[in-house]
Amino acid sequence: MRKGTEPELVVITGMSGSGKSIALHALEDSGYFCVDNLPPELLEPFIELEDQGRGRKIAIAVDVRSGRSLPQLPLLLHSLRDRGIQLRQIFLDANDQTLVRRFSETRRRHPLSQPGEADIQQALLQTIMRERELLTDLRDRSHVIDTSYLRPAQLLACVKELISAPASHLTLVFESFAFKRGITLDADYMFDVRMLPNPHYEPELRPLTGRDQPVIDYLRQQPEVALMQEQIAHFLRTWLPALARDHRSYVTVAIGCTGGQHRSVYLVEQLAAEFSSEWFTLRRHRELGEN
């Protein structure tokens, strides 16, 4: 492969039922040549064949359907990085209850189900646990997206945002969520801000969000909120340079409050604006139904 012509490669992995086909559609819409379920041992020959010096954008989905060859994938991806290929790894995840519900709704069998094994809930949960163990190494090396509460349109937008980020720089993702709906699975760092003054108890602020000016004004007047923002920012400024030196592509900072509407949204917006001059930043608001 000639220097300067290396392709841009996105590898999608993740749990069965987590939305990998939707992610591939997003990449296809963005101009990537997409292949689903490529065996890991064919990855390098495929890239050589497809590129031919053209610097083509390629997206490949690999998961437990690869069977015994799956453990080869982390080493192969490391080798591709060493060759200078621009590589992004995205891992789609969802909580067990969501995965069970999705399999029940579609009546599809899990790829790890044994012949003759009924996909009753308990058996399916055990199969999901086995799949998580098989994918642990890939998950640890990837940017994780929790699709448990994402609509397909949200996942499409999220993937397109990620691939628009500079490949050679660390991308900082700020995400708000509601503890009452469950913690997010994709956070590298998670901060609980439920102890802060809550605009929910102000009748005129209740229907608004942390992006609306009256809520912004209210929270800016609270010393505890300013202190929380300052301490989170100090933590990130201390450790982000070390993460960048460790060749991390993405760092996700999740901030949760009770309803995911006011305090966490406000802090995500403020911190994303504060760090945007230092790092490429993205923001997501899980409970607002938008990125």
All structural domains of the chain: 8-164 (3.40.50.300), 171-288 (no CATH)
Using the structure block, give the residue that is written with the tokens 């190494």. Answer: 137
C-alpha triplet 165, 169, 175: angle, nearest 5°? 55
Checking if the pLDDT of 102 tops 80, the result is: yes
The amino acid at 204: E
Checking if the pLDDT of 2 tops 50, the result is: no
The amino acid at 35: V
Checking if the pLDDT of 74 tops 90, the result is: no
**pLDDT per position as a tens digit, 40-55:** 888 888 887 766 656 6
The amino acid at 266: Y
Checking if the pLDDT of 117 tops 80, the result is: no
Kindly state the average pLDDT of the residues 105-123.
74
Model pLDDT, residue 254: 97
pTM confidence score:
0.82
- What is the average pLDDT value for the chain, to the nearest integer? 88
**pLDDT per position as a tens digit, 240-272:** 999 988 878 889 999 999 999 999 999 999 999
